């Protein structure tokens, strides 16, 4: 009986190994409407086998490619397989549905966290309120939209609109509220607070959605096609001649059957003989892995401590949502307390992100080689073989600069001007140190500048940082960063330099003197971008409209804020060559902070050159901005008319 079973198993293995796999042929990429080459993890329902994609990624193909998520139909406007992003448009606003009620077509969007994530940095929510029973006041009538049911009143507004609470109170408990995501960047929706009737224009642009699925690159590079095993619920690589779990080699169809049979038979016998040995060692191997993980806490990696996953799980109370400190593009940060009593911030990198190991290694390598009092310290990390990739930083208790300028902390106690100058100088010091170390931060913003209880700066989040070798002037890479802070020249030319950080820091300086966020869709059309607003105010010599009134109007503060605005103007120039270096920015800020002479911090213009006056005798060691070529001086410096170029103030968008 055993002999017959062995022979049957041999021929079954032989047949499965060299017969064409039907799944490979079924998973050929297909077009649907304007969307080309739809492939893994998506599949076209009715045209491709369900094994070609993951559950929940079914595309319905009629005139357009449609994706259904939590009861909503979305038109797929674009698929970016390189970075796992979709651009979706709610089908409720399609032209052939104009006779229907949009509120009956739109449902609240609930995402499964292991499948899809919304890019919170570039999206917000559009709120529809139907069955509004109250009478809106005259100033709130602008939010009303034309209802398809005469007996009902419908209202639409953004979820961050300060009037949302008033409208919901007036509409009463009998009203129905539905929310749908819309894109924040690019200026779309900026007039919504003025005219509620343009909600279709806002929704037509759609929004970006990131999907999470097992990486397909290894399978594709080996000649296979990616799919999903619905029996075992896991990733599957389909090969021309056989299915495989991860990758496959191209099928060799030119071998003669006898040679193939001998080769496979020999391989089968060797495999059968090795199976006994593998089974006997499996138990001991599992013990060895467990023992290795237990030792991680006492070992080092890149010169920092290695923590066990269990220790950090315990420190963060099993990553309780109540412990969350923030959420970024690569992971969520949790508050934790180690067994030795140290308070820490634990960054938990997102799962199912094929770039997360590279980002993990990048941040560990960069942080371990840096030592500066204004850079956040890395205590350690988990092993690359850990259940999850975790980074452990020192905990900074006083929140972010963004929170102190225009967040909850700003309402309690606004930052004083001396503290704002201290923040500017210490942040510039940290960035100058990075640039001297040939490192570009690439995501400078007030949300990445932390403050301790003495308002000392700790610059954080090096997940996007890039090393810049000595022998190159720039690095060519797809634009990444946060809307409102991205260097427009980098966004246009794909050339990242240390001057890209200078531009972002210029936006931070404007935030410090204005207390306004870098992007605010509730502002008027031409003022959504703070950088654009600042250049416009400086152009019109209307700096008083930009400076936060809470800073006071004494002559010394006015002189310093004027000087900081002038420096920010220089940093925000479109042409990176005309911007100062970060070291020059630092020295200029030190001059503003430490010198009472009203001349310090002013830029003089002479024959197209921007020059600094000599330092005062009290600060002879302070070296201010050196002579730098500029295209045109700021109106804060001279009274000549200044002409702005459109490209110099364009608000960039994030490229996934």
Residue ranges of the binding site: 347
Contact 401, 446 (CB under 8 A): yes
Residues ≥6 apart with Cβ < 8 Å to 34? 64, 65
Between CA 226 and CA 115 the distance in angstroms is 17
- Is residue 266 helix, strand or coil? helix
Between CA 492 and CA 647 the distance in angstroms is 9
Checking 46-52 for CB contacts under 8 A at 24+ apart, the result is 49/23, 49/227, 50/228, 50/230, 51/23, 51/26, 51/27, 51/227, 51/228, 51/229, 51/230, 51/236, 51/238, 52/23, 52/26, 52/27, 52/225, 52/227, 52/228
Hey, what are 603's tokens?
């830029």
Residues ≥6 apart with Cβ < 8 Å to 316? 323, 334, 335, 336, 346
Hey, what are 482's tokens?
């946060």
Sign of CA dihedral 178, 180, 185, 188: negative
Quickly tell me which residue has 């654009």 as its tokens. Answer: 532
443 catalytic per annotation? yes
Angstrom distances, CA of residue 390 to CA of 118, 177, 450, 583: 22, 38, 20, 33
Contact 442, 501 (CB under 8 A): yes
- List binding-site positions for ATP: 347
Between CA 600 and CA 580 the distance in angstroms is 17
Q: For residue 401, which of 451, 443, 444 has the smallest C-alpha distance?
A: 451
CB count in 10 Å sphere of residue 28: 11
Angstrom distances, CA of residue 553 to CA of 6, 245, 593: 92, 69, 17
Between CA 328 and CA 517 the distance in angstroms is 17
CB count in 10 Å sphere of residue 495: 17
Contact 125, 179 (CB under 8 A): yes
Angstrom distances, CA of residue 189 to CA of 202, 325, 409: 5, 30, 28
Q: Percentage helix, strand, coil, to 5, in the chain?
A: 40, 20, 40
Hey, what are 339's tokens?
């067994």
Between CA 558 and CA 563 the distance in angstroms is 9
Between CA 356 and CA 366 the distance in angstroms is 15
Between CA 130 and CA 163 the distance in angstroms is 16
- Looking at 119, 241, 443, 548, which residue is catalytic? 443
Between CA 582 and CA 444 the distance in angstroms is 12
Between CA 207 and CA 180 the distance in angstroms is 10
Q: Catalytic residues, which ones?
A: 443
């Amino acid at each position: 009986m055993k002999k017959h079973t062995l022979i049957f198993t041999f021929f079954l293995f032989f047949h499965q190994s060299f017969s064409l796999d039907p799944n490979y042929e079924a998973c050929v990429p297909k077009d649907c409407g304007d969307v080309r080459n739809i492939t893994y993890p998506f599949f076209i329902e009715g045209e491709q086998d369900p094994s070609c994609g993951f559950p929940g990624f079914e595309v319905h193909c009629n005139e357009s490619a449609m994706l259904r998520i939590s009861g909503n139909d979305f038109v797929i406007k674009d698929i970016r397989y390189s970075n796992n992003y979709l651009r979706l448009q709610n089908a409720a606003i399609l032209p052939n549905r104009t006779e229907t009620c949009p509120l009956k077509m739109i449902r609240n969007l609930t995402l499964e966290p292991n499948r899809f994530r919304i890019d919170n940095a570039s999206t917000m929510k559009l709120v529809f309120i139907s069955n509004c029973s109250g009478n809106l006041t005259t100033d709130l009538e602008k939010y009303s939209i034309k209802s398809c049911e005469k007996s009902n009143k419908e209202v639409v507004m953004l979820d961050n609109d300060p009037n949302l609470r008033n409208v919901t109170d007036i509409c009463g408990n009998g009203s129905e509220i539905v929310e749908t995501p819309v894109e924040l960047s690019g200026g779309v929706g900026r007039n919504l607070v003025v005219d509620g009737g343009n909600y279709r224009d806002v929704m037509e642009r759609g929004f970006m959605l990131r999907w999470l699925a097992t990486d397909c690159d290894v399978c594709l590079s080996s000649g296979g096609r990616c799919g999903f095993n619905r029996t075992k619920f896991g990733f599957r690589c389909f090969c021309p001649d056989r299915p495989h779990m991860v990758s496959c080699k191209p099928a060799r169809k030119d071998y003669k059957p006898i040679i193939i049979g001998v080769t496979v038979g020999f391989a089968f016998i060797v495999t059968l003989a090795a199976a006994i040995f593998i089974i006997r060692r499996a138990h001991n191997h599992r013990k060895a892995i467990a023992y290795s993980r237990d030792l991680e806490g006492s070992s080092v990696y890149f010169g920092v401590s290695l923590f066990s996953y269990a220790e950090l799980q315990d420190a963060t109370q099993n990553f309780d949502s109540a412990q969350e400190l923030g959420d970024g593009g690569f992971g969520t940060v949790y508050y934790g307390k180690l067994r030795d009593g140290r308070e820490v911030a634990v960054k938990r990198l997102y799962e199912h992100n094929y770039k997360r190991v590279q980002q993990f290694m990048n941040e560990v390598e960069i942080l371990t080689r840096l030592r500066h009092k204004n850079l956040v310290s890395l205590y350690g990390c988990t092993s690359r073989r850990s259940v999850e990739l975790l980074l452990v930083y020192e905990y900074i208790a006083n929140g972010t600069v963004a929170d102190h300028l225009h967040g909850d902390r700003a309402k309690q106690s606004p930052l004083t001007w001396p503290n704002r100058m201290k923040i500017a100088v210490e942040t510039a010091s940290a960035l100058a140190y990075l640039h001297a170390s040939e490192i570009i931060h690439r995501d400078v913003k007030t949300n990445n500048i932390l403050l301790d209880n003495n308002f000392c700066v700790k610059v954080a989040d090096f997940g996007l940082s890039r090393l810049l070798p000595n022998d190159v002037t720039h690095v060519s890479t797809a634009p990444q960063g946060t809307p409102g802070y991205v260097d427009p020249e980098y966004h246009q030319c794909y050339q990242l330099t240390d001057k890209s950080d200078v531009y972002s820091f210029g936006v931070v300086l404007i935030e410090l003197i204005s207390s306004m966020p870098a992007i605010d869709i509730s502002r008027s059309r031409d003022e959504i971008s703070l950088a654009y607003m600042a250049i416009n105010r400086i152009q019109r010599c209307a700096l008083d409209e930009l400076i936060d009134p809470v800073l006071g109007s004494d002559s010394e503060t006015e002189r310093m804020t004027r000087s900081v605005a002038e420096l920010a103007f220089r940093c925000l120039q479109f042409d990176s060559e005309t911007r100062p270096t970060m070291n020059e920015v630092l020295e200029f800020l030190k001059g503003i902070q430490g010198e009472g002479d009203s001349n310090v911090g002013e830029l003089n213009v002479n024959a197209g050159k921007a020059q600094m006056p000599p330092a005062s005798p009290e600060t002879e060691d302070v070296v201010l901005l050196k002579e730098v070529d500029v295209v045109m001086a700021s109106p804060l410096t001279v009274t000549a008319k200044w002409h702005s170029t459109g490209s110099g103030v364009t608000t960039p968008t994030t490229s996934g």
